[in-house]
Chain A
Amino acid sequence: MKKEFSQNLGFFSLFLCMAATLLVLGSIIYFITVRGFGVLSWNFFTQVPYSAMTKGGIAPVIVGTFYITLGAIIFALPLGLACAIYLCEYSPKSIMANIIRISINNLAGVPSVVFGLFGLAVFVKFFGFGVSILSGSLTLGILALPMIISSAQEALVAVPQSIREASLSLGATKWETIKNIVLPTALPGILTGVILSIGRVAGETAPILFTAAAFYTRGYPKSIFSEVMALPYHIYALMTEGAHPDKQRAIAYGCSLVLLFLVLFISGFAIFLRQRKRSLHG
């Protein structure tokens, strides 16, 4: 009897933990949705900000986020893919591969603000790119690298060994096998990983604080060497800078809602794809 009671009590408390987690995180989404929804309008998405950031829309901000994210993926994808191919196909068990694996794990654990400092010292100052889309993209690309490598690796490992062997036995070389057989098979998995890291990169703020972001730029970014407004930084800046905190707060709600749903949608899509693939392949 006592056993049963303690079991019920224990299981109930575990249920409470789960419920609390979902409730708290759900309430964050709920509050931002409810309060931010009123701000959204067609103009909010299509206009540039004006009247000292208290009126107008966030079109250039969304465009800026898009550019920075795109740049980061363009930089990180080839590097990450090459690294994953090396680790899975060429040299899975060597000492060098182990060193690379350890450095990937540690790179993944570096705090995001440290990436920002690295970008500031190297891309902004040393290479002289200045505070620009290019600097921000490169910085975010390094941050995304471990994520892309590990998801690409997962996709490559999932390719059955037998079809590699079939290709090799027909006389294809290693590279031909990788190019024609392994990569096309692993492509959906790799894309899923890329989409997941897009979601993550789009929401990162600390690395672009000193490398790319500006509170206000006139109109849209003109080249890869111009400063940009980006959604995550814009939320921070609206809450901490500027002359009209009360009026800016409404726009900050709108930005948070847009960013939240952008990221949730992108990540949700990737998770959905992966889930479906897993259930298809057992």
Chain B
Amino acid sequence: MARWIFRRAITPIMKMLRFKEKLYKWIFTILAFASLFFLIGIVLVLVKEGLPIFQKVSFTKFIFGRFWYPTYNPAEFGILPLILASIWVTLGAVAVCVPLGVGSALYLNELAGPCQKAMLKPIIELLASIPSVVFGFFGMVILTPFLQKIFHLPTGLTALNASIILGVMATPTVCSIAEDALNYVPNAFREASFAVGATRWQTLIQVVIPAAGSGISTAIILGMSRAIGETMTVLMVAGGAAVMPHTFLEPVRPMTAAIAAEMGEAPMGGNHYHALFAIALVLFVITFLFNIIAEIVSRRFRIKLGLSG
């Protein structure tokens, strides 16, 4: 009797349950691949829409060409000025955000008391959420006239302006990540240094910073990756002249600004359209490399400090 009940009633319920469990697991597995799916989708779209331009100009001429005249006849598609502009602006931003961001992180970690820290950390995080378009707006209305006046420039929309705004913008991000890295340095390191008679400053310079070095590097690389991919601020304050940059006091047109500014006017499916997608592909590859490097460096950092991967 009992066996009969088991076979006729309970077994089907168990089977049903097991099926349901499997079904849910499959649903979650499939949905979990969404990120990979979108990432591959982005690459495919960029390749499909970007590659046709290389039937028009050779790859080397595209990357190293010094003239970007996409709307002229005949058109020139050399993106070296755009790449250089991106690099210049990013390096300028690094010059601003590394001292500010890493300095602030060191201050937070080593000098701020618990109360100050509890207050400053959320504030820094909050400042990281300010939208980029607001930074761009600030650059346009406040910093531009200011720079124009002190350097006597024809226009204040320059690489310098973009560097400053981007650097300020990346500072909270760099600060947060660097602070996390400093937190991971075991206190035993510091205590050992104090025990042999080092001052707090010597400990900081010779023990803590080298121990957190690759963590801080990760912060800087991620800050750079954010700066090179940033669009709205450079679109608004970099000035937009697609010429080879000579000084920081001239307008430039970084890659992101070129895409954002010109996509609206580029005829769908034309050479200009494909060229802009090819620029996006170059940009994607650059930020991809940055992220991979950051990943490798931060993994090394964790292994060095004996933290699990």
* Set of chain A residues within 8 Å of B122, measured between Cβ atoms: 271-272, 275
Question: If A31-B138, A111-B231, A205-B232 touch, does A145 touch B38 (CB 8 Å cutoff)?
Answer: yes
Asked if A106 is an interface residue, CB under 8 A from chain B, the answer is yes
Other-chain contact of A107, B21, B39, B131, B260 (Cβ < 8 Å): B39
- Residue in A110, A175, A233 whose Cβ sees the most chain B Cβ within 10 Å: A110
* Set of chain B residues within 8 Å of A99, measured between Cβ atoms: 36
Interface size on A, residues (CB 8 A): 92
Question: If A21-B101, A175-B21 touch, does A28 touch B138 (CB 8 Å cutoff)?
Answer: yes
Asked if B147 is an interface residue, CB under 8 A from chain A, the answer is no
Asked if B32 is an interface residue, CB under 8 A from chain A, the answer is yes
From 121 to 145 in chain B, residues with beta carbon under 8 angstroms from any chain A beta carbon are: 122-127, 129-138, 140-142
Asked if B60 is an interface residue, CB under 8 A from chain A, the answer is no
A-contact 0/1 string along B200-244, CB 8 Å cutoff: 111011000000000000000010010011111001100000000
B-contact 0/1 string along A1-15, CB 8 Å cutoff: 001101100110111
Say yes or no: A264 contacts B104, CB within 8 Å.
Answer: no
Question: If A90-B29, A91-B29, A114-B46 touch, does A200 touch B232 (CB 8 Å cutoff)?
Answer: no
Say yes or no: A11 contacts B201, CB within 8 Å.
Answer: yes
- Interface size range on B against A: 35 or more
Question: If A11-B111, A239-B236, A263-B130 touch, does A122 touch B45 (CB 8 Å cutoff)?
Answer: yes
**Beyond the given A28-B135, A107-B35, A110-B39, could you list 10 further A-B residue pairs with CB under 8 A, ordered by the A residue number?**
A24-B171, A25-B171, A25-B172, A82-B32, A90-B25, A120-B263, A173-B20, A175-B21, A203-B130, A256-B138
* Set of chain B residues within 8 Å of A239, measured between Cβ atoms: 137, 140, 236
Say yes or no: A145 contacts B34, CB within 8 Å.
Answer: yes
* Set of chain A residues within 8 Å of B36, measured between Cβ atoms: 99-100, 103
B-contact 0/1 string along A63-83, CB 8 Å cutoff: 000000000000000110011
Say yes or no: A256 contacts B134, CB within 8 Å.
Answer: yes
Alpha-carbon distance A159/B35, docked complex (angstroms): 24
Asked if B5 is an interface residue, CB under 8 A from chain A, the answer is no
Say yes or no: A267 contacts B126, CB within 8 Å.
Answer: yes
Say yes or no: A28 contacts B130, CB within 8 Å.
Answer: yes
From 217 to 262 in chain A, residues with beta carbon under 8 angstroms from any chain B beta carbon are: 232-233, 235-236, 239-240, 249, 252-253, 256, 259-260
Other-chain contact of B260, A28, A91, A209 (Cβ < 8 Å): A209
* Set of chain A residues within 8 Å of B295, measured between Cβ atoms: 102, 105
Alpha-carbon distance A113/B199, docked complex (angstroms): 48
